[in-house]
Amino acid sequence: MAEKKVLMITQTVCPYCDRAKMVLNHALEGKYNDQIELLVREDDQKRFDQLKQKYQFLTVPTFIDKKTGKLLSDSKEETITAFMKEAIG
């Protein structure tokens, strides 16, 4: 199985994370879901901390393009759509 192209970092209680997931599942109709790896902070705090130190993000949800290292910390449909088109195609 090919490595997923985007990492989405979330946490359990996070209205903005829920909104971003709704954008992915409804507005984008799940089009990119098979290319997104999901990391929930509470499920792997050590990896979360390592990624936070490496990429210096301040909020969740954060999307990371694994190829370029580009970040998006947002839950708006327009910005998520543009990020996914650039990162995944």
Rounded to whole angstroms, the Cα distance separating 6 from 24 reads: 12
The arrangement of strands across the sheet holding 71-72 comes to 36-40, 6-10, 62-65, 71-72
Residue 85 pLDDT class (50, 70, 90 cuts): very high
Question: Is 80 a residue whose pLDDT tops 80?
Answer: yes
CATH of the domain at 68: 3.40.30.10
Dihedral of alpha carbons 36, 41, 42, 43, sign = positive
Note down the domain range covering 69: 6-87
- Residue 59 domain flag: yes
Q: What are phi and psi of 76, to 5 degrees?
A: -85, 140
Task: Assign 82 to helix, strand or coil.
Answer: helix
> Residue 1 domain-assigned?
no
Residues in the chain: 89
Verify cis geometry, omega within 30 degrees of 0, for the bond prior to 61: yes
Confidence of residue 1 (pLDDT cuts 50, 70, 90): low
